[in-house]
Amino acid sequence: MTSRKPLGRYRRIVIKIGSALLVDRKAGLKKAWLDAMCTDISSLKAKGIDVLVVSSGAIALGRSVLDLPSGALKLEESQAAAAVGQIALARAWSESLSHGDIVAGQILLTLGDTEERRRYLNARATINQLLKIGAVPIINENDTVATSEIRYGDNDRLAARVATMTGADLLVLLSDIDGLYTAPPHLDPKATFLETISEITPEIEAMAGGAASELSRGGMRTKIDAGKIATTSGCAMIIASGKTDSPLSAIENGARSSWFAPSGTPVTARKTWIAGQLQPAGELRVDDGAVTALGAGKSLLPAGVRGVSGLFSRGDTVAIVGPEGREIARGLVSYDAEDARRIAGRKSAEIEAILGYPGRAAMVHRDDMVMTAQIRQKSERQKKDAAHA
């Protein structure tokens, strides 16, 4: 057991449900579990909390309906399985939620829907409208059309993206893992459980192994990635086991779970979008002086840039990495890659002479940048939040 974590203090909660919780390979959909989950959702909604569900299980359910043999599926087989399974999955959610007089709305997203700003705003408007009318959005990746280059592939990061997109203040990841351990507990008997994570440091990242089962794509790695996306945008995250019935009530009653504190710095909607980009178009490697300057809230000047990689255009999102290779920020770059290379390491006053036009003084302006790693002192609020968990 860990401490009780009341969910009633949140305003908008995204719940991610792993395939293995909803689907049994032989028996198919776990209806009793789903019904109990929908009862938990009804009681959250009765408290005025908006609830969004990111439900995996399309491929697993399609596999079970089609009676496909175990083992890896070819891309077109898993896409066909998802097509069959997604209908059954959406119907099951819709029926089960209707017992509590709740309407469900299905949203299928692809990576492009969240990476491209116009499509992102469109998807966000639809989800917000569903919430406004009191419906519960049931969200999944559109697996039938997503191919490996253009897919999330795991619903942990998709759920984090949905959380930041909708301004949720809590993301709950339910799977067969009850939280974060210092090492994979089945491999290391000395592994200890971490109940509160106030900041996702490189040490925390190193604790996430690569574990994933046949039914679920995400392991601890993608959960920590999800945590980075969510907490950077001010959204807390809980990792808990969904193996018992009514796991949300269980979390409230003190079932073991890990709580990740939101970052203390509120960010604008545009910065939220920048922070959640999964595929930056390039990378700027910066020196120690620039790391300190960014930590103090300054823009990134060409003088601090030591290396430029990738084929990006002006306005694309790039990752900004420190001398030791750790990503510290993301932002919209003011120059095409070729020009960025030419002015890297040079003074802003020299830009016009080098490029032949008066470009922007900053390579990435601070208004277009969001820190992905905490390189400032932790704010008092963060410490307080961590103490409350």
Positions in the binding site for ligand GLU (CB under 6 A): 19, 56-60, 82, 140-141, 143, 154-155, 216-218
CB of 131 to ligand GLU, least distance (A): 22
Residue 387, number of CB atoms within 10 A of its CB: 10
When the beta carbons of 60 and 200 are compared against ligand GLU, the nearer one is: 60
Give the span between the Cα atoms of 344 and 303, in whole angstroms: 6
Nearer to ligand GLU, 221 or 256 (CB): 221
Judged by DSSP in three states, 360 sits in coil
Distance CA 194, CA 369 (A): 31
Least distance from C-beta 80 to ligand GLU, angstroms? 12
Q: Of 59 and 88, which CB lies nearer to ligand GLU in the complex structure?
A: 59
Gap between the Cα atoms of 297 and 78, Å rounded: 46
Looking at the Cβ atoms of 79 and 164, the one nearer to ligand GLU is 79
Query: Residue 13 to residues 44, 143, 224, 235: CA-CA distances in angstroms?
Result: 9, 24, 18, 9
CB atoms near residue 354 (< 10 Å): 14
Task: Please tell me whether residue 176 adopts helix, strand or coil conformation.
Answer: coil
Considering beta carbons, is residue 41 or 89 the nearer one to ligand GLU?
89
What 103-106 contacts at long range (C-beta under 8 Å, 24+ apart), as own/partner pairs, is: 103/133, 103/134, 103/135, 103/136, 104/135, 104/136, 104/137, 104/138, 105/130, 105/135, 105/136, 105/137, 105/138, 106/137, 106/138, 106/139
Least CB distance to ligand GLU at residue 276 (A): 17
Nearest CB to ligand GLU, comparing residues 112 and 323: 112
Instruction: Name which of 96, 102, 85, 90 is nearest 32 in CA terms.
Output: 96
Nearest approach, Cβ of 318 to ligand GLU (angstroms)?
27
- Please check whether residue 82 is in contact with residue 153, taking contact to mean a CB–CB distance below 8 angstroms: no
- Which CB atom, from 141 or from 225, has the smaller least distance to ligand GLU? 141
Supply the minimum distance, in Å, between the C-beta of residue 88 and ligand GLU. Answer: 11
| 60 vs 305, beta carbon nearer ligand GLU | 60
In whole angstroms, how close is the CB of 145 to ligand GLU at the nearest point?
12
DSSP 60-84: HHHHHHHTPPSSPPPHHHHHHHHHH
Q: How far is the CB of 151 from ligand GLU (least distance, A)?
A: 9
Question: Shortest distance, CB of residue 319 to ligand GLU, whole angstroms?
Answer: 24
Task: List, in sequence order, every residue forming a beta bridge with 240; answer none if it has no partner.
Answer: 174, 257
Side chain identity at 318, as an amino acid letter?
V
Closest CB to ligand GLU among 140 and 374? 140
Phi first, then psi, for residue 158 (nearest 5°) are -60, -45
C-alpha 170: how far from its chain's center? 11
Task: Give min distance, CB of 7 to ligand GLU, in A.
Answer: 22
